[in-house]
Structure 1
Amino acid sequence: MSYLQRAANIMNRIDTLAAISEDAKGITRTFGTPAFIAGSEQVMHWMQEAGLDTHIDNIGNVRGRWKTGASSTLVIASHIDTVINAGKFDGPLGVLMAIDIVQALKGTTIPFNIEVIAFSDEEGVRFHTTYLGSKTVTGAFDNSLLDKKDHNGTTLKEAIESMGKDVSRLPDDVIHDWQGYFEIHIEQGPVLYDSNIPIAVVTAIAGQKRLSVTFKGMAGHAGTVPMDSRQDALCGAAAFILAVEEYAVTHKIVATVGYLQVSNAASNVIPGEVTCSLDIRSADIATLDIAGIALQKAAADICEQRQLHLEWQLIQASKPVACDRVMSGLLKHAITGSGYETVQLVSGAGHDAVPVSAVSPVCMLFVKCYKGISHHPSEKVDVEDIAAALKVSDQFMLNLIHY
C-alpha cells in the first residue's frame, strides 16, 4: 500500500472519530463523557484490527501492546480528548498514525516491545488537570486530584468509577520498562505552513504555569454606588488582563487569560468576585519564573489601588523539556533520508511528552497544519503531509530498530 493510500485511510479514521462528539455541531470529547467513552472504544477496535493486545486502563487510556519478549518498551502515543469545539487533528492524528506505523512493521524483528497509547486526558478541560493519562503510566499521578470537581460537582474519582474503572488500581497501570517515547503531533503554529515544509523535529517543549487568579471586591447596586466608591472586581480583572498582555509583549513570552468567571453576574450589580485563568509559557525556566513573580506583583498592585483582595493559586506547572538527542538525531536522519528538509522547532504547546520525559527519552515529530490553526474547527492537515510523516516515521522506526 502506498503512503498516500495509508494517509487516506488515516484521514477516514480521523473523520470517523471526529463524528463522535458531545456536541452535534462541533467536536468535543472531554474526559469520562459518553462521547469520550465511545471514541475510546472505536480506537480500541482499530488497535485490535492491527493485531495489538489491547485494553483500556484505569485512567481511561486505550493501550495496544506488541509483545516481542524484549525487556524494554517503546511507547508511541498521543491523546484523544479534545478542547471544547475542537479541530479533528490535535491528538488523534498521532494516535491513528501510531496504529498504522506499528501495523506496517508486522513481520519485522524488533528488539523492544511497542505500546501504542491513546491518552485519556491531555487537555485537562473537564477537571482543569492536564496529563492525567500520561502521568498515570509514568507513575506521577497525584491521588489528591481524585477529589477535584467538574462544573457539575462530579469528582474525578466518580468520573473514573462511572467508566467502570478502579482508582485503587491506578498504580497497576505504570510502565516500568521504558525504551523511549515517540509522539507525532500537528505543529499548532505557522512555521511549517509558511515554509511549505511537511514535517519538523521538535527540539524542546516550553515550560508552562497555569494559575487561577481571583479578585474579590464588594458587590453593590449598579445605580446607587458612586463610581469613586466602588470595589469592582471585574474592573480589577480587566486591568490585570491588559497588564498580562503588556508584560508578554514587552518580555517576548506568551501569556494568556482564556477563562473568566463573574460570580453572581447580573447587568445591574457591580461585580464582587471574579476569577480568571492565567497561562504563561517559555522555553527558559528562569524567564518563566520571573514572569510568574512579576505578574503576581502586577495583580497585587492593582488590588491595592482598587481596594480588592487577591487570591493567587498555582494550578499546574511544568519545566521546559529538552527532547532526547539520540532519538531526535535518528529522526533527523529519517527526514533527510526521506528527501525532506530538516527543520527544528521548539513547541510552545504542552504535550504528553512533558511528563513522560521524567522517566524516558522522548522525541517528537511535527506535521504541518493549515495556517498553524489549532484548538479550532478550522484545524486542517493535508493528506500529502500525513503521507510524508508516515514515510519519515517508518524510516525512523527502522533507524531505531537497528541503532
Structure 2
Amino acid sequence: MDSYLNRAGNILNRIAALADISEEPHCITRTFGTPAFMTGCSKVLSWMQEAGLNARTDNIGNVRGRWQCSVPGARTLVIASHIDTVRNAGKFDGPLGVLLGLDVITQLKEKAVQLPFNIELIAFSDEEGVRFHTTYLGSTVLTGRFDEALLNRTDASGITLQEAIRTMGGDPGQLAADALLPGEWLGYFEAHIEQGPVLYEQQTPVAVVTGIAGQVRMMLTFAGMSGHAGTVPMHMRQDALCAAAACILAIEQYALEHKEQVVATTGILQISNAASNVIPGEVTCSLDLRSADPNMLLTAYNILQERCAEICRQRHITLTWQVVQETAPVTCDSVMSGALEQAIQDAGYDVIRLTSGAGHDAVPVSAVSPVCMLFVRCYKGISHHPQENVDAADLAAAIKVADFFIHRLTGLYNHP
C-alpha cells in the first residue's frame, strides 16, 4: 500500500498547487474563462505534457491529454472531471478526478502497458456553471450537444459567452469540431468526492455510483409594487419579498414532506433597487429541484409551481417562472459499473452502491457513451466549502481501485 500512498501524496501536492490559483486571495474561486481559470488550465496542460500525453486546450477551454494505442480503429475511454469551481470552494471537487486520472495514465505509460483502446484525459472547463449559469459547457461541447444559443448569454458584467471564449483563445465557430463522435466512445470514467456523508459514516473509502439525480433549475421573479416603508398600510402592500419568502418556505416544506425522494434549494435571492425604507417591488430567486425519480421530479415541479402561483395570487403578486436548465436522471452503465465493482473487490474493499444527488459531467456524456463513476470518501461529506477534504489513505484506495478497473477493462475489450 506504500506505493499507493506515495502516489496519493503526489496527487495531493498537485491538488494543493491548483488550489493556490484563485480569483480571490483568501479562498478558492476559479470560474470559467477568468485569468485564474486560464492559469489553472495552463498548469494542468503542463502536467499532461510532462506525462507524455498529446495535450491541448480546445475551443471551450477543456484541457485534453490523449494517449493513442496501436490498435487501428480503437475506441476511446474518456477519464475526466472538471477544474472550475464554485465561489469559496474546496480543493477536491473536480481536480481530484482529473489528477487521479493523470496518475493512473502515467503509471500505465511508465510500465509500457499495451491497451486495446485509446485514453483521453479531460479537465472540463465548466461543470459548475457559476459565471453564465450554464453547467456542463465543457462536456456538452465534447459530446456534440452544445446549444449555440448559449453563446449570447451574458455574465454579471454583460460579457457574452462567445466573448469569453475568444478571450481564452477559443473560436466559438469551431466548437462542433471538438466533439468526440458517438462511435468513438468506449466509455466514460470519473472519480469524484462523494459530496455526502454516507462513506464517512460507514468508514468506507469508495463506492460505485449507480445513477445521478435529475434536476431542474429555475429563476422565479416576483413583481409587486414598491412604495414608501412608512406610508403604505400593511394590508394594502404588494410586497414582492414577502411573497418570495412565503414561496421559499412552501418549497422547503414540500421537500421536507418528501425528503426521501426530492431536494429543493433556493441559493440566489436578488432584490431590485433595494433600500431599507422601500417596500420591495421586484425580487428574483433561484430554485434548484432534484430527484433520482423522473416522475417525482415532474410531480414536484408541477405542485410547487401551483403552490407558488396561489401564494402570489393571494398577495396580488405577478410570478414569472423561468426554467434555465433541465437534466433527466441518469442510470450508470451496468457493464462498466460491473467492472468497477469487480475492481473494488479486487482491491480488497466492500462494494457500496450510491446514487449521486449532485450533477456531474457524466450526465451529458451518458447521451453518447456508457458512463461509470467512483465516489471517494470526503470529510463529513462536506463539499462546495473550504473544509472539503480527502485523506491520503482514501485517495490511495481510489487509486488502487482505478488501476484494477483499467486492468479489468483491458481484459474485457482485448479481443483479437
2:167 counterpart of 1:162: yes
Pairwise CA distance, 1:298: 1.1
Pairwise CA distance, 1:283: 0.5
Counterparts of 1:304 and 1:135, CA distance in 2: 39
Residue aligning to 1:91: 94
How many equivalent residue pairs? 403
Counterparts of 1:278 and 1:156, CA distance in 2: 23
5+ unaligned residues in a row in structure 1: which ranges? none
More displaced, 360-369 or 102-111? 102-111
Q: Letter of the aligned partner of 1:335 in structure 2?
A: I
Instruction: List per-residue Cα deviations over 1:229-256 (Å, max 9, x = no partner).
Output: 1000000000011001000011221000
Instruction: List per-residue Cα deviations over 1:41-78 (Å, max 9, x = no partner).
Output: 00001111111000000000000000114421000000
Aligned partner of residue 290 in structure 2, secondary structure: strand
Residue aligning to 1:27: 28
Pairwise CA distance, 1:164: 1.2
Counterparts of 1:282 and 1:350, CA distance in 2: 11
Q: Letter of the aligned partner of 1:115 in structure 2?
A: E
Residue aligning to 2:118: 113
The 4+ residue runs of structure 1 with deviation greater than 4 A are none
Q: Letter of the aligned partner of 1:304 in structure 2?
A: R
Q: Letter of the aligned partner of 1:237 in structure 2?
A: A
Instruction: List per-residue Cα deviations over 1:100-129 (Å, max 9, x = no partner).
Output: 011111101101110000000000000000
Q: Letter of the aligned partner of 1:68 in structure 2?
A: C
Counterparts of 2:153 and 2:277, CA distance in 1: 33
Q: Letter of the aligned partner of 2:59 in structure 1?
A: N
Residue aligning to 2:48: 47
Residue aligning to 1:183: 190
Matches within 5 A, 1:175-214: 175-176=180-181, 177-214=184-221
5+ unaligned residues in a row in structure 2: which ranges? none
- Equivalent of 1:140, from 136, 139, 145? 145
- Equivalent of 2:252, from 245, 253, 278? 245
Aligned partner of residue 60 in structure 2, secondary structure: coil
- Equivalent of 1:227, from 215, 220, 234? 234
Q: Letter of the aligned partner of 1:100 in structure 2?
A: D
Residue aligning to 2:314: 305
Pairwise CA distance, 1:217: 0.3
Aligned partner of residue 210 in structure 2, secondary structure: strand
Aligned partner of residue 215 in structure 1, secondary structure: strand
2:352 counterpart of 1:343: yes
Counterparts of 1:155 and 1:179, CA distance in 2: 35
Counterparts of 1:6 and 1:232, CA distance in 2: 58
2:296 counterpart of 1:296: no
Aligned partner of residue 105 in structure 1, secondary structure: helix
Q: Letter of the aligned partner of 1:170 in structure 2?
A: L
Identity of aligned residues (%): 65
Residue aligning to 1:279: 288
- Equivalent of 2:270, from 250, 261, 266? 261
Quote the RMSD (CA, aligned, Å).
Answer: 0.7
Q: Letter of the aligned partner of 1:362 in structure 2?
A: V
Counterparts of 2:402 and 2:70, CA distance in 1: 23
Residue aligning to 1:61: 62
Pairwise CA distance, 1:312: 0.4
Residue aligning to 1:101: 104
Residue aligning to 1:236: 243
Aligned partner of residue 296 in structure 2, secondary structure: helix
Q: Letter of the aligned partner of 2:407 in structure 1?
A: L
Counterparts of 1:161 and 1:222, CA distance in 2: 47
